[in-house]
Amino acid sequence: MALDKLTVSSDNAVGGGGQILEIHVSGENLEAVNGSLPNFLGSLFRILDNGNAEYGTYIVLCHLRVTDGKGEVLLDYVKDVESGSAQWTAVQGLYSEWFPKPSAPNTALPVSTPSAPQEAYPAPLTSDETTGDTSSQIAVPSPYP
């Protein structure tokens, strides 16, 4: 692979004083890029993970673009170095061992959670309207303070 462009610019948009690293590399074709990409990405990721602390830089964003000899984009990768999040698009057949694969769907049946038995509130009290007798009433505390 060949280095076509390497730019470090100030991140003036956010005003945090960070730097944006932009790298464009190219290879003759997909096969040639696949031969070089594993080592290149390994080195790049180490620099992004440790570079700010080891070299005193303040890289906040990295944009990597990998193209073939015809100028077709094979990989477009952007990493927010501060948060660690990354987004990318890649062509089918590009070396892909550098990013995590989705896990297989979980086929286990869900486990039900036992619930505690519920106690019902007692029915509202009524007085005997004909006699006015309230002796059969039970005192129930109000559910509201």
pLDDT given at position 84: 87
pLDDT given at position 64: 96
CB 59 within 8 A of CB 48: yes
pLDDT given at position 82: 86
* Helix/strand/coil for 76: strand
Q: Across the 145 residues of the chain, what is the mean pLDDT of every consecutive 10-residue run?
A: 92 73 95 93 88 85 95 94 90 83 59 60 58 55 58
Name the pTM for this structure: 0.65
pLDDT given at position 66: 96
The per-residue DSSP string of 16-68 comes to S--EEEEEEEE-SSHHHHHHHHHHHHHHHHHHHHHHHHHH---EEEEEEEEE-
pLDDT given at position 18: 87
Displacement of CA 119 from its chain's centroid (Å): 43
pLDDT given at position 10: 84
Please state, in angstroms and rounded to a whole number, the distance separating the CA atoms of residues 116 and 43.
Answer: 55
Please state, in angstroms and rounded to a whole number, the distance separating the CA atoms of residues 83 and 100.
Answer: 17
- For the chain, the distance separating the N- and C-terminal CA atoms, rounded to the nearest angstrom, is 74
pLDDT given at position 14: 57
